[in-house]
Structure 1
Amino acid sequence: MQTEEGMVQDMKVLVVDDEKLVRRGLISMMPWDRYGMKVIAEAMNGTKALECMAAEPADIVFTDLMMPEMSGFELMEQLKLQYPRTAVVVLSCHEEFAFAQQAIRRGAIDYVVKNDLETDVMDEVLERIAASVRSRADNRPEQQEASLHPLFYEGESPVRLHGIPGTEAQLMPHGDSAQQASAEVCQALWQGMRWLYEDESFEQLLTLTAELRLPQSQLKDMVFPVLLKSGYLLLSLEHSLRWISRLEQSRRWEEWREVLQEERSYLRNLLFREKHAAEVVQGILQAVVYMHGKEELDFSQNEVADVANMSRTYFSQSFKGVTGKVFQDYVKELRLYKARQLLLQSSKPIYSIAQQVGFKDEKYFSKMFQQQYGMLPSAYRNQNPLRVE
């Protein structure tokens, strides 16, 4: 970090995890020096972490979420209050949508899946985090305007508002009813996901978003949940989190536009990897959204194929081509994903959750859950800081 005298110092790092072996492994294996970082302390839970911060504040805190005494989420809240300049990187054992969503909402700059920290990706992870921290340092909250950010949109060509000829985009008063209505339409279009596979829809959505001239905080609230959703639908958060990290470092709308175009192009290439027609990709995505929206996951492949308006055989072939996963494997992962959500958000007994997500046998469900996540559903619920009491 840069001192008031302009000297560059190493970024101080605090590692927080209740498993000593995990802390030691992370500290010893990560190439901290290469990215201007230095581990100054480690802690076994949030309470100990705050004691370390009081002794010597860190620039970056890498924290697990499920810890005794004080969870990672509770620690994040305290850091936000006591050390608002400290950046937080969340460590997790799994790509958990609910965790990632909560972490981003609470200000985490990155979300790292510990199981994925192989040697060949450590450089990428630290490079991304270092860039994000330096970007935050260059753009402190006290240096930002509290309301609208006209400089954020500087250089953007004037556009007509609401389709009215002769009008150019101006900064509209915050809370204006017309702007609010336009923002709601824009948000619905982002959530509709058509922009993923239709180039024209995507470009129109970028134009409409720029018209709104929203402050960055509201822009993030509109776009970030949608990016997380795109990763959730494909059962992979890695791409969504990289996307969000790049946007966090962008300080102009033109940079946002470039990142959105690049990352959307990457995702679109995945969806069209088998050169399917747009109608086929649209049908598969409709089927995916349908499955995710079901309260009870006892659907059949024929039922889902009907949603996509395809025969069972053609649907099976197309599904793998678009999502990269065999339908049966995707459904199993989705059911376990949903089970984790229910374990977080409800107090239903495990046998009831198993039935709701499509497993008729509770023992078989528990076996599949343990194979996938390394612990029984009961243990997952008990260790979870987001669980409903």
Structure 2
Amino acid sequence: MIRAIVVDDEKLVRKGFISIIEWSAFGIEIIGEAGDGRAALELIREKKPELLITDITMPGMSGFELIELARVILPNIKSVVLTCHHEFDYVHEALRLGAIDYIVKTLIEMDNIEPIIQRIVDRIRWENEHRRSEPTVQSEGFQSALVLVPEVVTEAGTIVSLPPSVQGEFIELECGYRMLPLSYLKSEAQLEREAKIRLTEGFRTVHVTGLVGQQLEDLRSVLTERLPDYLFYLSESDKAYIQVPYTEMGKMQKADERIPELEQYWQQLKWAFFHVEWERFTQEIERVRPSSRSITDFAEYMTAAWLARFGWLEENHWLFMNTKQYRIWKEWRSWFREASMIIQTRTEQLEISKEVVLSLVKAIRFVYERLGNGITQEEVALHVNMSRSYFSQCFKKFVGESFGDFLRNQRIEDAKRLLGRSDYGVYEIASMVGFEDEKYFSRVFREKVGLLPTEYRANSRKTV
């Protein structure tokens, strides 16, 4: 039996349509009905029908949208549209989206509906038999795979339609991609045309080739681990359709062991001031190819530790509001270039030399690393080879507050983090952030935060 559901927002029409046909005589079982698209999707998820019969014009979600979303859930589901005579032009759109037939509601009579239902049943059976006769992943292996890469912002249940030249069900990968192994492919050019038309809404389409002899689980693992970063550095990865040879991904080496070394250099910020260092910064990234996550983490560090901390974002907030939109290195490279220009402009406004700014950056990083110790301004000035008085003058101009205030504020921020995320006692946290006296720590904390450490901890845990 072909399991089917009927969807129409007009209850009388829906009930009448279901009752006028002897469905069992055609090998069809009506397993459910719905009055709108949302309810229909729930039915589809729950009962997994083979046939969807739907009205086109419905409130909330149209029949077109329902057909496409149904194929996200069940790629092999067949659809038939119900239409009125004045909606006939819509039928062409439904057929383009994969509907196999249509029924004109105003012309339904017993003597004409039965041939239509039989035609629909014959079409479904023919397609099912044709699909069973094709090579399958399990029996014949696969030659390539279609991978859908979501764009930066995608809603749950993003519409995805299979192109007509391929069949199967997508496999979810841990990286958020969807993979469809292909046991054979009639035409690469045809797939590219179809993919550009049918799969680009919210996704980029990647055709991974050269998979003969690969095991499915190995493929899943390699695509999950390597494809995101391969695409991240690919110069054409912003295109809607990309072909990727599997062997190219196999050449990629993990850069994890180089990340700490790279980050130490990145954080010096020399690349933001000097052309030679900028070239080194970008070329080293493109040669080593650290993960996209490492690049994103460093950009967030830049924003939090430098650009936002010193008020440099006020006139340039547009650059930092939507960093999640950057999905490839080419875009991030532009981001870092813009960030370097902001840093240089700010440096010129402060009338401090690049060399002094880099020394102050080094000093601040030194403070961050030793907040829990009894660090002094003299010690920091010595570390960056500056006199105490000149260091004090430049530091206040650069940071906007004296070294002593900066040090206390950083210690209080560290204490807030520990109070919210750990179970250490207040006296332990005071010592950990560099205060020798618990009472003095509590007094300074209250002056800065407006609450005692115990009160702050209680409030922070209420909001978790």
Q: TM-score, normalised to structure 1's length?
A: 0.50
1:307 equivalent in alignment to 2:383: yes
Structure 2 unpaired stretches of 5+:
1-59, 66-153, 157-199, 207-222, 238-246
Deviation at 1:191, TM superposition (A): 3.8
Q: 1:265 aligns with which of 325, 341, 345?
A: 341
Matched AA of 2:398 = V
Task: Provide the C-alpha distance between the structure 1 equivalents of 2:442 and 2:420, rounded to a whole number of angstroms.
Answer: 16
Give 1:326's aligned residue: 402
Distance 1:364 1:153, change over 3 A: same
Query: What is aligned with 1:209?
Result: 285
Match of 1:176 in 2: 253
Q: Which residue of 1 aligns with 2:359?
A: 283
* Structure 2 counterparts to residues 190-205 of structure 1, below 5 A: 190-205=266-281
User: How far has the Cα of 1:180 moved from its partner?
Assistant: 5.2
Distance 1:271 1:173, change over 3 A: farther
Separation in 2, partners of 1:313, 1:347: 40
Q: What is the number of equivalent residue pairs in this alignment?
A: 244
Contact 2:412 2:445 in 1 (8 A): yes
Asked if 2 retains the 8 angstrom alpha-carbon contact of 1:345 and 1:386, the reply is no
> Quick check: 1:292 aligned with 2:368?
yes
| 2:430 corresponds to which of 354, 357, 361 | 354
Give the Cα–Cα distance (whole angstroms) in 2 for the partners of residues 355 and 310 of structure 1: 29
In the alignment, does 2:392 pair up with 1:316? yes
- Superposition deviation, residue 139 in structure 1: 8.1
Partner in structure 1 of residue 38 of structure 2: none
1:249 positional shift: 1.8
Give the Cα–Cα distance (whole angstroms) in 2 for the partners of residues 237 and 350 of structure 1.
34
Give the deviation of 1:332 after TM superposition: 1.9
The aligned residue for residue 380 of structure 1 is 456
Paired AA for residue 402 in structure 2: V
Counterpart for residue 100 of structure 1: none
State the shift of 1:182 in Å.
5.8
Q: Is the 8 A contact 1:346 1:387 kept in 2?
A: no
- Checking the alignment, whether the CA contact within 8 Å between 1:297 and 1:358 is kept in structure 2 is yes
1:154 to 225, 235, 246: 235
For 1:139 and 1:386, the matched residues in 2 are separated by: 41
Q: How does 1:77-226 map to 2 (within 5 A)?
A: 85=155, 140=202, 147-148=227-228, 150=231, 153-154=234-235, 172-173=249-250, 176=253, 185-212=261-288, 216-217=292-293, 219-221=295-297, 223-226=299-302
Tell me: CA distance 1:295–1:301, structure 2 relative to 1, closer, same or farther (3 Å): closer
CA distance, structure 2, for counterparts of residue 258 and residue 224 of structure 1 = 15
Deviation of 1:293 (Å): 0.7
Distance 1:361 1:227, change over 3 A: same
How many angstroms apart in 1 are the aligned matches of 2:201 and 2:280? Answer: 29
| Aligned 1:214-253 pairs, distance under 5 A | 216-217=292-293, 219-221=295-297, 223-230=299-306, 234=309, 244-253=320-329
Name the structure 2 match of 1:254.
330
Measured in 1, the distance between the counterparts of 2:258 and 2:432 equals: 38
Larger proportion of strand: 2
Note the C-alpha offset of 1:371.
2.9
Give the residue type in structure 2 aligned to 1:173. Answer: G
- Residues 68-83 of structure 1: matches in 2 within 5 Å? none
Provide the identity percentage.
Answer: 24
What TM-score comes out, normalization by structure 2 length? 0.43
Structure 2 counterpart of 1:277, one-letter code: S
**2: CA distance, partners of 1:231 / 1:350:** 31
Unaligned runs of 5+ residues in structure 1 are: 7-83, 87-137, 157-169
Tell me which structure has the larger Cα radius of gyration: 2
Distance 1:335 1:199, change over 3 A: farther
- Counterpart CA distance in 2 for 1:181 and 1:386 is 40
Q: CA deviation at 1:230?
A: 3.5
Quick one: which amino acid aligns to residue 286 of structure 1?
K
Structure 1 271/368 Cα, relative in aligned 2: closer, same or farther at 3 Å?
A: farther
